[in-house]
Structure 1
């Protein structure tokens, strides 16, 4: 039996244990630390498993399902705090020294677009082949930046600084036209 607060100088074995007080801001930090941000999935057209072509528009996007809010709730007796992270933008490092910032997941390429059409919101045009790079490929990374809001216990707040990143190596090649006479 726990020995708890004193009464008239004596410990009372029958008293309820005191619950440590945790502020909503402290709970928010715990909720943010527990958020499980999805790892971005790189999609490209031409397909990322094949070569990109110099001077041909490359479309970049991530599946819509990986671009939604992520929520986590932490509770202690008497108070709960919920933190929600929302993707703000994607920053693509294309491996050729170029960075592309997209304000959303990008538009998936489909056959309704012309083959030489540029992406309406997230694309890049390579100017040189990757053959001189280590392994003959460019290292492409995408980092998703997340904004966080939290509320609970009569308080709320916002924050930045969360990110999730992935990478892949992409071959970029030149295509030479042959004119027959």
Structure 2
């Protein structure tokens, strides 16, 4: 939306007039049934863009079992999950005279790249491992089993990464909409070893 620049008016991102300013030019006529300087109401979709820009999304914090300080084992399931503290909606509200719009970002999925050429898609944050699960059990919703070790890789480890996709829903000014596909990312190194059988004569 193009805003008509007026003398003495201050403007924010994308030319949106800042709050507390007079939108009228000198000599403007007083609108019927209102005070002089009412001005045009900004489009909610424009204000929504400002709210989306002001969202502060948390960075993912990767967790695995076995823990990253230990080597994963070939043919033994690795569990992956994200810290639950960050897996929740984040909201921000932008206000200009006449319009208030709230944007809410919701985490939808996590895409894991395991460093061995495998990509794992998880719909949620994943399940944290606990002792109630058998050591050889697979994660019910977010896991991977390596078929080869990380020997020969830089620092003898795979670089794994996770990309969290957020969808944004906004509402205000009698309108609503969505902004799909915002992303946050994190990565870490993971060593994978191959267990050696011990032959006893």
* TM-score, scaled relative to structure 2: 0.81
Of the three residues 106, 126, 132, the one matched with 1:112 is 132
What's 1:22 paired with? Answer: 42
Distance of 1:142 and 1:19 partners within structure 2: 47
Q: For structure 2, list consecutive stretches of 5 or more residues without a partner in the other structure.
A: 1-7, 9-23, 30-34
Of the three residues 136, 139, 145, the one matched with 2:165 is 145
Distance of 1:77 and 1:102 partners within structure 2: 42
Distance of 1:83 and 1:127 partners within structure 2: 43
Of the three residues 6, 27, 30, the one matched with 1:6 is 27
Q: CA RMSD in A?
A: 1.8
Distance of 1:77 and 1:115 partners within structure 2: 59
Return closer, same or farther for 1:16/1:55 CA change in 2, 3 Å cut-off.
same
Distance of 2:28 and 2:174 partners within structure 1: 33
* Bigger share in strand: 1
Runs of 4+ in 1 over 6 A off after TM superposition: none
Q: Output one character per residue of 1:53-94: Cα deviation in whole Å (capped at 9) or x when no partner.
A: 111000000111110001010001221000001011000000
Distance of 1:83 and 1:113 partners within structure 2: 39
What's 1:33 paired with? Answer: 53
Whether the aligned pair in 2 keeps the contact of 1:91 and 1:100 (CA below 8 Å) is yes
Q: Alignment partner of 2:27: what SS?
A: strand
Q: For structure 1, list consecutive stretches of 5 or more residues without a partner in the other structure.
A: 9-14
1:97 maps onto 2:117 in alignment? yes
1:88 maps onto 2:108 in alignment? yes
* TM-score, scaled relative to structure 1: 0.90
What's 1:66 paired with? Answer: 86
Shift of 1:20: 6.3
Q: Alignment partner of 1:84: what SS?
A: strand
Query: How many residues were matched structurally?
Result: 174
